[in-house]
Structure 1
Amino acid sequence: MRIARFTTGDDPAYGIVQGDPGAEVITPLTGDPLYVGLQPSGAGPVLLEEVRLLAPVIPRSKIVAVGKNYADHVREMGGTTPPEHPMLFFKPNTAVVGPFDPVVLPQGSDEVSYEGELAVVIKTITKGVKAENAAECIYGYTIANDVTARDWQRTDGQWARAKGFDTSCPLGPWIETELDPSDLHIVTTLDGEVKQDGTTADMVHGVASIIEYASNAFTLLPGDVILTGTPAGVGLVQPGQQVTIDVEGIGSLTNTFVRR
């Protein structure tokens, strides 16, 4: 099931997306389904092409991201061996934007890069969960672009500014609640040219292991988002360029990069 957050010009709403590509409709829901469940609002369905899709979730608490989780990406960044345990860092919820929203290149950085990733949306208060039970804590999956200022990443000695600046976490187009994340094709294009072509089967640490490791350190809350890492092929983006990330079973997330 695909759960979208959208607007027709009024207040944001949630809805269920159904139909074949090019003919999808959204059935509006009442409230946030993470908290009130799937309650139809009674309003009639609207065509997907007539709405503006928003980020499908705005984390109330945090975005937990995993670095160096694909061996080929570790090598392209100059490393040799992936970390023994998931390398975790945070992105603030103020970094989130939605499909087709602009990503604003931050002043003072000249090396901003895309990173196409599978993202996990948490549905329950989660603390100390074991990997074998992690699926019970997952609401669904969406697509993320872990936008990174590489020059800041090098100079700062930690990643908060480099990966947490405003608009550095596009999410979308919706949440897919029925998906096996173990072997999904991920393709990232820059102005239509394929740059990343990988599969989640190559993740060093799988989704369940990441949730176990993260929840052992800190409590995950409903609506928290976990970014699972990026395959090889990351590269720099210039103003005016467009990045599209396709994840099998979910759809596409597209954003244009601009300079303020």
Structure 2
Amino acid sequence: MGRTVYVHGNFVPEEDARIGLFDRGFLFGDAVYEVTAVIAGRMIDNDLHLARLERSLRELGIALPLSRMEIEALQSELITRNGLKDGTVYLQVSRGEADRDFLYPETMVPKLVGFTQAKTLIGTRAQREGIAVDLADDPRWRRRDIKTSMLLGQVMAKQAARARGFDDVWLVEEGLVTEGASSTAHVITADGRILTRAASRATLPGCTQRALARLCETEGLHIEERAFAPEEAQEAAEAFQTSASSLVMPVVRIGGRVIGDGKPGPMTRRLQTLYLEAAGVPS
């Protein structure tokens, strides 16, 4: 028996799930999505994810298909029906269905789908030992602040990085790191400052990043929001990336340069602990 998924108002077995041939998410990537972490059956930072979903839809002129309360209820129902303990819950909203045309009718009705994915999120080898990230030119469109389903640039960058022996990839534009292909990039300077890019159209506003920033403010840790070059990242004392599916992930190599002593540093370890404790998970 497969998973139960949500498709256009109904919970159905995954093998029976269907989307229409003329769904604009399928034809044009005209859709947005969100991924929320689930730990011990509980959603983490979901308020931030639903707020970002609503913002992305608003930027594209797509109506929210359900109220935020109703969306949270269907997420919880997916978790319950699938007995999900640890993993993610995925949502995608497309503009709707219409015969293929770049121009779309204003009367379109948005389509919502959702599913869960079981995954170990904490205590992984990558979180214990850190990962290596490649550096690649950023091939994406200019509205990266909208979390659209158009991910071919990220797919190709990640695939190329894997072929080169890396675990992930950070993207670079005009000599500066924008972000990870599916994460927010951070480095820590020798004097303990945490650097990450400020919110703009060049990057996606990370929900895990925002939650971690709140914790840093409470703990008196300094976050400096500014862009940094790959060379500065490679000279950093520590590095890490954040996302819903990897939480706070140590980075121990960037391109051909080992970061620090090649092991997750003390500040990164502290941030991992702070985040898990705030999520109600023993570190």
TM superposition score normalised by structure 2: 0.24
Report which structure shows greater RCO (CA 8 Å, sep ≥6): 1
| Structure with the bigger percentage of strand | 1
